[in-house]
Structure 1
Amino acid sequence: MNDPRDATGVWYGRYFATGWEVPENSFIAHLEEFGGAVEGTITEPDDTGRSEIRRAFVSGSRSLDTLAFTKQYDPSGPLAHSVAYSGRISEDGTEVTGDWRFSGYHGSFVMNREIFSAEELDEDAAVDEELLIELGDPAPPAWRL
């Protein structure tokens, strides 16, 4: 991922309604971007009481700093409608802010993620390996083979 605005990753967010009976809620979005096309899933707490979580599928696009997608709730769950999202990705690629709307309802959303460099991930793996050696790990885990 050379472009920091590439939408690929795990995003943690909240959405808010503007003057409507739609309660504020949190969500986790798992997004993948391929050549500007964005797909993924969203899970969020189900405040209707019909299940613990709601699932939705995401399909959309990103161009430069603009991310637009449709969140289609899983029709086998408590909701079956779709919601249109449009937002701007920060220059460092760690935050998206924007608006959502469906069927006359609208509001705002924000989602954030952490971006780790390859060096940071390598350092974490080295520390984990050193800890395993110190603890006398009898067999190397499969990920080190």
Structure 2
Amino acid sequence: MDDPHDVSGVWYGRYFAGSAEVEENSFIAHLEELVGEVSGTITEPDTTGQDEVRRAFVDGSRMASQLKFTKQYDPAGALAHSVAYAGTISGDGTEVTGEWRFSGYHGSFVMNREKFTADELDEQAAVDEDIVIVMDEPLER
């Protein structure tokens, strides 16, 4: 990946409500970017108590370090609304911070990911190849 701001990958995040009573939730975003167009999915714990998790679809765009997307909750779930997100990607492409808004509500969010260089991945693959497990007998429980 030549562009450090390309958002393709797995992101771990939190969003915070801007109300008097601070609410927050975590999420995992799986994003794909192709020529500035962003799509993907978000999974998060369901704070309504209806289900264990909520799922949403992502549709948006990225220009330089600016990311904008809409998170549309699965209409089959407890929530069926969409939320607009806008954020700034850090210089190294490992963090996005910004705001979310929908129907008069707003708050902030942050999401992070780990990025590895090709050299780091090659080095780990070499270590993995050197690990050999020899088992003469089955493990007893």
Fold shared per TM-score above 0.5: yes
Any idea what the Cα deviations from partners look like across 1:61-117, whole Å, max 9, x if unmatched?
Answer: 000010000000011111110000000000110100000000110000000111001
Matched, 1:90 2:90: yes
Deviation string for 1:37-60 (max 9, x for gaps)?
A: 000000000011111100000000
Q: Percent identity?
A: 72
Q: How does 1:25-64 map to 2 (within 5 A)?
A: 25-64=25-64
In structure 1, the gaps of 5 or more residues are 138-145
Q: Following TM superposition, by how much is the alpha carbon of 1:23 offset from its aligned partner in structure 2, in angstroms?
A: 2.6
Q: Which structure is higher in helix share?
A: 1
Return the offset for 1:17. Answer: 0.8
Partners of 1:34 and 1:17 in 2: CA distance: 30
Which amino acid in structure 2 is aligned with residue 57 of structure 1? F
Q: Distance in 1 between matches of 2:72 and 2:22?
A: 17
Return the offset for 1:20.
5.4
Distance, in Å, in 1 between the alignment partners of 2:109 and 2:52 is: 21
| TM-superposed deviation, 1:136 | 3.9
- Structure 2 spans left out of the alignment, 5+ residues: 136-141
Secondary structure, in 3 states, of the residue corresponding to 2:131?
helix
* One-letter code aligned to 1:38: V
> Shift in Å at residue 22 of structure 1?
7.3
2:65 maps to 1:65:
yes
Retained in 2: the 8 A contact 1:57–1:73? yes
Contact 1:20-1:105 within 8 A present in 2 as well: no
TM-fit CA distance, 1:33: 0.3
Show the counterpart of 1:105. 105
TM-score (norm 2): 0.92
What residue in structure 2 maps to residue 121 of structure 1? 121
Q: Aligned to 1:127, what secondary structure does the other structure show?
A: helix
Q: C-alpha displacement at 1:13, in angstroms?
A: 0.5
**In structure 2, how many angstroms separate the alpha carbons of the residues matched to 1:117 and 1:24?**
32
User: Which AA in structure 2 matches 1:19?
Assistant: S
The alpha carbon displacement at 1:122 in A equals: 1.1
The question of whether the paired residues in 2 share the 8 Å contact of 1:17 and 1:106 is answered with yes
After TM superposition, where is structure 1 displaced by more than 3 Å over at least 4 residues in a row?
A: none
- Provide closer, same or farther for how the CA distance between residues 104 and 21 of structure 1 changes in structure 2, counting only shifts above 3 A: farther
Q: Give the partner amino acid of 2:110.
A: V
Counterpart amino acid of 1:24? E
